[in-house]
Amino acid sequence: MTGKVTEACHRIEELWNETDGKCYVSFSGGKDSTVLLALIKLCQELYTVGDIPAVFSNTGIELGVTVNFVKWVKENYYRNVVIIHPSKPFDTVLKEDGKPLLSKVKSNLLDQYQRNGLTEALNCLLINGETRNHAKMRNTRIADIHMHVLHEDFNIRPSPKCCEWMKKKPFEEYSKANGMKGSLQGIRTAEGGARRVGTERRLANGGRLCTWIKHGQIQKAPIIDWTEDDVNEFIRGNNVPLSDAYTKYGFDRTGCMACPYAKTVAHDLKYLHDYEPNRYKAAMYWLKDVYIAQNVPLYFDQSYERERERVAGTVRTHETGNAQKIPA
């Protein structure tokens, strides 16, 4: 563990030097980005880096405890916390651009499908999970249980743009306004998904494990090779504070509340229902149709369950050739 801490600190110092101190931390209030703040504090104690802003995008769809934790961090743990906001609110993004469905990759492909029809390329990706050259692709194939999203009467417009508007654009605007040359990211390949795929692709093309260039800026992930055990050991050994989302609610990961992309969305909604009921109501108002389309079971919410079962029954009837429409 000592070796990994030393290497992570070296990576932070490297970015500081490469950018002449014009860098920031992408701070989410989650476990990994808080560990990153603790590592920066270690570097600052050794005078190897200066003051690095921790930038938090308050999207309006964060957990209440996340927002409270970020404020606490600013007041008690790491003073240079900068809070930014998206230029377009979440409900406007959903109305104008579409809704997150299944995953970022699939939302993007399904958006193309609704615009252009089932082209040969999309057919290969969505139906077969491969390119036209038969190269296997990760996470593009629509599972049999979700094939109804390809029905012509499916009335949800899928789009991955909520992430772009809520997270990416606010950071890009902050970076441009403040002349930043790089940023520190609290991401790890052990989390799997797009982060592991991106790392593997970067290494396969001769890139570096923890460093890449995006929009002309240096991106560095100091703990990219840490395991969950590494993170937890560092937290215990360095008294790293954590949000109540972990210590009280029982979340394993945090992010935008009740995100449909999360593999744990059913558990996340249960926690939201129990601990932050107003935000649960908001999630249902915005995304109930998406949860139902993904057949997410919420046995604690009987009204929702009745609607989910009704839609699931209609989908099954359609699959036997006896229904004309699939409501979403």
Q: Which residues of 91-104 are buried (b: 16+ CB within 10 A; e: fewer)?
A: eebbeebbbbbbbb
Q: What is the pLDDT of residue 211?
A: 87
d(CA 94, CA 72): 31
pLDDT for the residue 132: 85
Task: Determine the pLDDT at residue 214.
Answer: 85
- Can you give the pLDDT of all 328 residues of the chain as single tens digits? 689 999 999 999 999 999 999 999 999 999 999 999 999 999 999 999 999 999 999 999 999 999 999 999 999 999 999 999 999 999 999 999 999 999 999 999 999 999 999 899 999 999 999 988 888 887 899 999 999 999 988 999 999 999 999 999 999 999 999 999 999 999 988 676 666 666 667 667 777 778 889 888 999 999 999 999 999 999 999 999 999 999 998 888 888 888 999 889 999 999 999 999 999 999 999 999 999 999 999 999 999 999 999 988 766 555 544 433 333 3
Q: What is the pLDDT of residue 139?
A: 84
Question: For tokens 């029982």, what's the residue?
Answer: 250
Domain(s) labelled CATH 3.40.50.620 in the chain stretch across 2-91+160-243
Single-letter code of the amino acid located at 31: K
pTM to 2 decimals? 0.86
3 state DSSP class of 327: coil
Q: Which CATH class is domain 2-91+160-243?
A: alpha beta
Q: Give residue-wise pLDDT tens across range 13-67.
A: 999 999 999 999 999 999 999 999 999 999 999 999 999 999 999 999 999 999 9
Q: Is residue 111 a contact partner of residue 98, using CB atoms and an 8 Å limit?
A: yes
The predicted structure's pLDDT at residue 74: 97
Q: Which of 165, 154, 146, 167 is nearest to 94 (CA)?
A: 165
Query: DSSP letter string over 152-190?
Result: TT----B-SHHHIIIIIHHHHHHHHHTT--EEEE---GG
Task: Please give the pLDDT value at position 325.
Answer: 34
- How far is residue 198's CA from residue 327's CA, in Å, rounded to a whole number? 35
Phi-psi region of 318 (alpha: psi -120 to 50; beta: other; left: phi over 0): alpha
Give the CA distances from residue 258 to residues 96, 100, 235, 276, 310, in Å, rounded to whole numbers and listed in that order.
Answer: 20, 11, 25, 11, 22
